[in-house]
Amino acid sequence: MMEQENLKQEDIQKNSLVPQEKGELLSQTEIVTRSVVKNLIREAIEGMDYAYAPYSNVHVGAALLSTKKKIYQGCNIENAAFGSTNCAERTALFKAVSEGEKEFAAIAIVGGKQGIITDFFPPCGVCRQVLREFVDPKNFLVVLARSEEDYAIYSLESLLPLSFGPENM
């Protein structure tokens, strides 16, 4: 079991865009620094508090960073008709778009049963595709976190290869 856990951790670090090292990290858009990543994680953790999850008891929080350096928080909102459930990532995105934002640099996502973060919580396929509508998948960063100190960063392109976007229309 311990060996499997170590392999999983090595795989996360190997596939993450940014190894966790001290110092500043700049994304290709030069907006996202390590301090910004930590702030996004804090905001996502706070977003978990607002989750409405009476059916799964899984609370998810997201914090979406616009290229104008504004953060939009989101949480998952479940519904008895499960198809009507909305993920935290889409809640943050829809909130931002409804306020006029359409360009984004990064998103941090956290989640866990009963609101307790135990592992990384990657976005579902629908959220990946919805985010793809508004971002350059090569430059948009997806931060998966267990805490402010324990996170992995991926490009959306690595999470959604060969994606379909507005330029394909």
Which residues are catalytically annotated? 89
Q: Say if residues 108 and 40 touch (Cβ distance below 8 Å).
A: yes
Q: Which of 99, 153, 108 is nearest to 131 (CA)?
A: 108
Please state, in angstroms and rounded to a whole number, the distance separating the CA atoms of residues 158 and 137: 8
Residue 63 near residue 72 (C-beta atoms within 8 A): yes
Cα dihedral: 115, 118, 119, 122 (round 10)? 0
